[in-house]
């Protein structure tokens, strides 16, 4: 990507004619549709293998169980597009709601006994996620530390903090406001599904039409050229880390509401599924490539496969193994069709 192209993206007044813009934008958007045939095939297979797969209740369960993953995938996609990694999202997913639960639950079940107002606890939950994002952004942008190793260290550190806060216990008996996102339905549809879908739509529109979205692609494609085009690269990356942290905390709160508790191991190994959905959805690990539509189809494909294998009563370890196989197949197909490494 050249400096001229970056400038045209960042400054609407200097865009090329609409026909040329369409040639640049449409391939990127259509790339998000490449998984749709595979998704359709999986759905057909699921319906044939088990009659319960296409039932309304099972579809709702599938989508609700995928909603928390979806929110974390949105967060991870934004970070991957700018060419960075954030493995700590997995631990934020568990730590943020655990801190909130600790502040509102009684001593008798392992809480603090402070009986904090649940709405303040929700604010604390989101603040914890944002604070982790601030710290990660500082370490990666200001101190120039490797994002992968830095956030891996944060993942391990925060997992230990979660165990320390909870004492290894599961905190339950959460107040109703903290259960809202996981239990509430609207017109028979869990609000968590609507929230996850809304986040995909908003993030997709921002990436496609807003200056901020175009800046993310520019930074991921070539940060030096982005700087030359007048984009504040460091500040933008920091903002993305904060947004991702808040979204991971929100997703953790959604799961806590659905299961009406927070376990010490909440979110463990989640990041592997997040990267699986992103990679098969066409999100480049090198940055500057991918769409929210592609990420969404990746989530849905994994969700359908997991649901089918669960209905078939397959052991969990085979389901995990299938995700690894899917990633390898996706990388091989990308390599054969594009002539370049999918990562």
pLDDT tens digits, 65-78: 999 999 999 999 99
d(CA 317, CA 314): 8
* Phi and psi torsions of 93, nearest 5°: -55, -35
**Residue 324: per-residue pLDDT:** 82
State pLDDT tens for residues 55-111.
999 999 999 999 999 999 999 999 999 999 999 999 999 999 999 999 999 999 999
* Phi and psi torsions of 262, nearest 5°: -130, 120
* Percentage, residues of the chain above pLDDT 90: 76
Q: Give the model's confidence band at 31: pLDDT under 50 very low, under 70 low, under 90 confident, else very high.
A: low
**Residue 5: per-residue pLDDT:** 42
Q: Give the model's confidence band at 334: pLDDT under 50 very low, under 70 low, under 90 confident, else very high.
A: low
Examine the pLDDT at 270 and tell me if it is beyond 90.
yes
Tokens of 172: 């339950």
Mean pLDDT value across residues 246-262: 97
**Residue 3: per-residue pLDDT:** 40
Examine the pLDDT at 16 and tell me if it is beyond 50.
no
Category of 163 on φ-ψ map: left (φ > 0), alpha (ψ -120 to 50) or beta: alpha
State pLDDT tens for residues 285-298.
889 999 999 999 99
Could you tell me the residue ranges of all domains in the chain? 3-338
For 229-244, give one letter per residue: b (16+ CB within 10 A) or e.
Answer: bebebeebbbbbbbbb
**Residue 327: per-residue pLDDT:** 78
d(CA 83, CA 217): 9
Instruction: Say which residues have a Cβ less than 8 Å from residue 60's Cβ, sequence separation at least 6.
Output: 188, 189, 190, 193
d(CA 168, CA 216): 39
Query: Mean pLDDT for the chain?
Result: 88
Q: Give the model's confidence band at 36: pLDDT under 50 very low, under 70 low, under 90 confident, else very high.
A: confident
Pick the range with the lowest mean pLDDT from 8-22, 119-133, 187-201. Answer: 8-22
Pick the range with the lowest mean pLDDT from 17-21, 35-39, 276-280. Answer: 17-21
d(CA 144, CA 142): 6
d(CA 76, CA 39): 22
Whole-model pTM over 0.95: no
What does DSSP assign to residue 172?
Answer: E
What does DSSP assign to residue 70?
Answer: H
Q: Which of 215, 219, 111 is closest to 170 using CA atoms?
A: 111
Strand (E) or helix (H) holding 222: none
CATH of 3-338, one of 1.25.40, 1.10.10, 1.10.287, 1.10.3470: 1.10.3470
Mean pLDDT value across residues 202-231: 96
What are the distances in angstroms from CA 174 to CA 178, 180, 254?
A: 6, 11, 13
**Residue 115: per-residue pLDDT:** 93
**Residue 225: per-residue pLDDT:** 96
Tokens of 131: 């604070």
Q: Give the model's confidence band at 22: pLDDT under 50 very low, under 70 low, under 90 confident, else very high.
A: very low
* Percentage, residues of the chain above pLDDT 70: 87
């Amino acid at each position: 990507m050249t400096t001229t192209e970056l400038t045209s993206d960042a400054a609407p007044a200097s865009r090329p004619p609409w026909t040329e813009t369409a040639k640049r934008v449409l391939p990127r958007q259509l790339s998000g549709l490449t998984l749709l045939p595979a998704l359709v095939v999986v759905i057909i297979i699921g319906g044939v293998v088990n009659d319960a797969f296409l039932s309304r209740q099972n579809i709702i369960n599938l989508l609700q169980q995928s909603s928390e993953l979806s929110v974390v995938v949105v967060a991870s996609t934004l970070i991957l597009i700018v060419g960075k990694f954030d493995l700590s999202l997995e631990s934020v997913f568990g730590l943020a709601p655990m801190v909130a639960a600790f502040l509102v639950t009684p001593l008798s079940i392992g809480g603090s006994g402070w009986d904090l107002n649940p709405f303040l606890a929700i604010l604390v939950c989101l603040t914890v996620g944002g604070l982790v994002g601030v710290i990660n952004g500082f370490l990666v942008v200001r101190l120039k530390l490797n994002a992968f190793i830095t956030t891996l260290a944060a993942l391990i550190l925060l997992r230990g903090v979660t165990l320390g806060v909870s004492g290894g216990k599961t905190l339950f008996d959460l107040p109703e406001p903290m259960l809202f996102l996981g239990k509430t339905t609207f017109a028979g549809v869990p609000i968590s599904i609507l929230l996850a879908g809304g986040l995909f739509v908003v993030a997709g529109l921002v990436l496609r039409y807003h200056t901020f979205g175009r800046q993310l692609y520019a930074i991921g494609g070539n940060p030096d050229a982005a700087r030359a085009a007048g984009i504040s690269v460091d500040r933008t990356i920091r903002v993305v880390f904060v947004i991702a942290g808040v979204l991971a905390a929100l997703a953790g709160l959604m799961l806590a509401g659905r299961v009406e508790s927070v376990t010490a191991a909440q979110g463990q190994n989640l990041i592997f599924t997040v990267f699986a959905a992103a990679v098969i959805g066409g999100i480049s690990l090198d940055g500057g490539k991918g769409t929210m539509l592609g990420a969404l189809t990746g989530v849905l494909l994994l969700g359908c496969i997991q649901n089918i294998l669960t209905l078939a009563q397959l052991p969990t370890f085979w389901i995990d193994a299938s995700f690894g196989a899917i990633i390898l197949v996706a990388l091989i197909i990308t390599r054969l069709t594009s002539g370049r490494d999918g990562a």
